[in-house]
Amino acid sequence: MCRIASYIGPEIPLENIIVRPNHSLLAQSQKANEAKLAVNGDGFGVSWYNDTSDLPGLYRDVLPAWADDNLTNLCRMVRSPLFIAHVRASTMGETSRVNCHPFSHGRWSFCHNGQIPHFPAIRRQMEAALPDDLYAARRGTTDSEMIFLTLLANGLDHDPAEAMRKTVAAITAQNAMSPVKMTCVLSDGESLYGFRYGSDGIAPTLYVSGTLDNGGRAIASEPLTGMATGWNAIEQHTLCRLGPEQNEMRSLVA
């Protein structure tokens, strides 16, 4: 299991989400309240967007987030209007930078919290379904990276909700007996998306904040304040989009 925190809104230092809140992502890396594992020490990562580059920045390393001075420095210095951060508790794939979230491809960056059951048994089948360019883009060995590439193959660029629906259907079809768990946060540099799906109705938690003091909004595994007030659980099987203009909650079941 893992923990995720992300933000969209007026430009802020990354630390305002990752380090400073009472129950920041860094705090959650040592003591998560709503995760199967309280400690998320198997690496971390952050993707962020700005005007300087068309592609997101990506900083990932294998140390526990709480032990990395570089991360603290980065979070203090770097400002961004849109970013996603992740701390990892490894369930699959060794601890290496390429297995740390977020994964990125073009403008997209993607974090996952959950698990595809029996992934080794269906990995070859999932990889065979990828077009050549996405097949070549694999770097690591996680089910999470495979979900991301499958989303891209299923048209993430054109219709994120439809891509999510197709991907969930494909993975669930291959796991008739075991529960698939997919809680994701992703972005194309324009909007911030949060999604929860558990084939048994139980996916890892994900919350969306109301409008924060500075006018921005956040999506996180657990309320960054440590209190439910001002945060709403994203419903199961629902894709939440926070965009620059209007926000949207869209059930994928309908």
Q: How far apart are CA 3 and CA 71, in angstroms?
A: 16
Q: Minimum Å distance from CB 161 to its own copies?
A: 29
Q: Which stretch binds its own copies (CB under 8 A): 36-44, 109-117, 194-202, 235-243?
A: 36-44
Q: What share of the chain is helix, strand, coil (3-state, %, to 5)?
A: 25, 30, 45
CB of 132 or CB of 245, closer to its own copies? 132
Q: Which stretch binds its own copies (CB under 8 A): 76-84, 156-164, 198-206, 217-225?
A: 76-84
Q: Minimum Å distance from CB 79 to its own copies?
A: 6
Active site residue 2: yes
Return the residues of window 95-124 that contact its own copies according to CB under 8 A.
95-98, 120, 123-124
CB of 94 or CB of 159, closer to its own copies? 94
CB of 42 or CB of 143, closer to its own copies? 42
- Do 39 and 89 contact (CB within 8 A), yes or no? yes
CA 240, 250, 102 angle in degrees (round to 5)?
30
- The number of residues that bind its own copies (CB under 8 A) is 43
Q: How would you label 95-120 residue by residue, b for 16+ Cβ within 10 Å and e otherwise?
A: ebeebbbbbbbeebbbbbbbbbbebe
78 touches its own copies by CB under 8 A: yes
* Cis peptide bond upstream of 102, omega within 30: yes
Q: Which stretch binds its own copies (CB under 8 A): 70-78, 153-161, 224-232, 239-247?
A: 70-78
- Do 155 and 163 contact (CB within 8 A), yes or no? yes
